[in-house]
Structure formats: structure tokens, C-alpha cells
A = this chain, B = another copy of it.
Amino acid sequence: MANPEFEVTAVADGDAQRLDKAHRQCPSAVALGSAEELIARDDVEAVVIATPVATHFPLACNALDAGKHVLVEKPMCATIEEGEELIELAASKGVTLMVDHTYLFTGAVQMLRGLCQSGEIGRISYYDSMRVNLGLFQPDVNVMWDLAPHDLSIMDYLLDEEPVDLEVSGYCHVNPGVPDITYLTLHFPSDMVAHFNLSWMSPVKVRRTAIGGSEKMVVWDDLNPEEKVKIYSSGIEFQPEEERRQIMPGYRIGDVLSPRVSQLEALQGVVSHFAAVIGGRETSIMDGERGLRVVRILERAQKVLDQRLPEIADLRDGRV
């Protein structure tokens, strides 16, 4: 993560062992026992926040308030309200607020963005993601808050559209109240439906996203080192609504292209972008607004989960 535009001045961690580890990676920086000390320093211009989600808001607030630029890990914060406040605060202080949606700087997502934005794949009909593995259970977040921010930020970057409605469900096998499997479906103003299969309970790791367009369909398998992105010259002939009912649609099945995906160093890209945005040379592709749009979906989905899971539990236990 070394970047010529930044010098690591200080590192802070309340935990001595973690602090020591961080310090060994940046031996020339000052090691501090609290974030507050770090934020208070005059020689600190920009702060990177990599802490549990619940602390993102207070730490980012402090830092922004002290006039520091902030790069915060995903998800940006825990609620919509927090997100709106952070955006406003950054604006009023004239500093940069950025969320580390690292995937946006991978070669694969950059390629997908090109395919979607250029119109090459046509009108998008679905976005289908499977992100499952034998999870690392997180102490402070459920599987949706852990995994979905990746998908939601990518989808938002590709398609620039917000959902009008959603369904979400799941189950808490290990910790009550903390779903370890979640299925999320989003409906968009356009023809698009998006689906996310999120799990910490799969023995096989899967990172597969399919995007269906009227012209082409794309499958991104992030674990396939040789052919990450495949573009299928297959499609469904969309018909005008009045004619649809009458006949069966036609399919085109065609070639498959696996374009060479450049091996960008995504994290390096994020750091360079942060510098460029602070310096006014680039407009952020992962600013507070995008961070907020992700949190907005998560909060909305969480509310449904909070209502549905007890309902289902009652039905399961025969209480209804």
C-alpha cells in the first residue's frame, strides 16, 4: 500500500498486539494507543479507518470534524442517518470522504463497467450473485452486512440505479439474531431484478456474478484465475409488449469470449484514487454518496429481516 503521495505518520490501535503488528509494517510512524490521539495530531492530514462497523461513524465524525480526509472501510456506517451526517460533515469541512469499496478497482469490475456502460450487453434484465464460503463469523455483523457491501457497491457502480422494493430472508444457524445465510432480491425501476445468495455455511467458496443483457450475458467468476470474465453472445429477443404474449421468444446461442482481464492492484488503485481525489485531480467513484446508497439498501433489508425472522421462528415453533 506504499504510495509516493502519502507518508504514514502515525498508526493507532487500542489493542497493544495489533498496534505492534501495524507498527512493524510502518516502523517510521508513531504508534498510538487511541484513535483520538491520532486524529488530534497536526501532522495527520488524512485518516484511514479500518475498525468494526459500529465504530466507523464516531471515528469518521471525529476525523472529519478535525478537518482530516477520511477513507473508511466498507460498509461506510451502520445506518442511513449516520451516512447522511458524514456526507454533510465532509461537505461542510471541505474534505474528502471515501469508502474503501476495493473491488471497484479490480480489472474485472472495470471491464464489467465498460460492458454495462457502453451498451455492449444491451438492456440489463438481471444481476445474480452468489457469494458463499465457510465463513469467518464476524462478531459484530451478520452475513449480509459482511458480504453484501461488495456486491451492492459493485452493482451500484455498474448500473447506477436504486431499487424500488426488496425481499430478504435467511436463517441464523449459529448465533441467534445473526443470520449466517441470507437471500436478498432487489427490484429496480428498469427491467432488472437482482439477487444475492450470501452464506457463511458453504464448504465450497463461490464468487460468481451473472449479468444478463438483451444483447449479451456476462459471468464473472472471481475465483477462476484464467478466465475471470466470460461474455456470452447469447440473448433473448425482447419483443414489444403487445406482441409478447403470442409467441415463444427466440434464443441466440453464440460464442463465448474471455477477454484478458488486467491484473490491477486494487488496493493500490484505491490509495492512488484517494490521493487524486484529495488533490482534486479525480472525481471519486467511491464517495460518501455511493457508500450511503449501499447502506440504504442494507438498512432497508435489515428492517425486513428484523420483522420476518421472528415471524418465521414463531411459525416454526408452532406459536402462530
A residues contacting B by CB (< 8 A) are 125-126, 128, 130, 134, 137, 139, 164-165, 167, 169-171, 173-176, 181, 183, 185, 187-189, 191, 193, 195, 197, 199, 201-205, 210, 212, 217, 219, 223, 225-227, 232-234, 236, 238-239, 241, 244-245, 248-249, 251, 253-260, 308, 311-312, 315-316, 318
Contacts and interface: CB of A to CB of B under 8 A. Distances in A.
Given A139-B248, A165-B311, A197-B195, A202 B217 contact: yes
14 contacts: A126-B201, A139-B248, A165-B316, A167-B169, A174-B239, A183-B195, A201-B236, A203-B212, A203-B219, A204-B219, A204-B232, A254-B260, A255-B260, A256-B257
Given A134-B251, A183-B185, A260-B254, A193 B174 contact: no
Nearest to A214: B173
B174 A249 contact: yes
Contacts of A203: 210, 212, 217, 219, 232, 234, 253
A116 B201 CA distance: 17
Contacts of A175: 244-245, 249
B260 A257 contact: no
B253 A260 contact: yes
A253 B201 contact: no
A207 to B, nearest CB: 12
Contacts of A257: 255-258
Given A174-B238, A241-B176, A212 B219 contact: no
A165 B315 CA distance: 7
A132 to B, nearest CB: 8
A316 B253 contact: no
A190 to B, nearest CB: 8
A181 B186 CA distance: 13
Contact of A256 (B134, B187, B227): B227
A318 B188 CA distance: 11
Contact of A248 (B128, B137, B244, B248): B137
A228 B29 CA distance: 42
A22 to B, nearest CB: 18
Contacts of A315: 164-165, 187
Contact of A212 (B167, B170, B201, B241): B201
A80 to B, nearest CB: 19
Nearest to A256: B258
A79 B283 CA distance: 57
A62 to B, nearest CB: 29
Contact of A226 (B195, B204, B249): B204
B202 A173 contact: no
Contacts of A244: 174-176
B249 A259 contact: no
Contacts of A187: 169, 171, 312, 315-316
Contacts of A139: 248
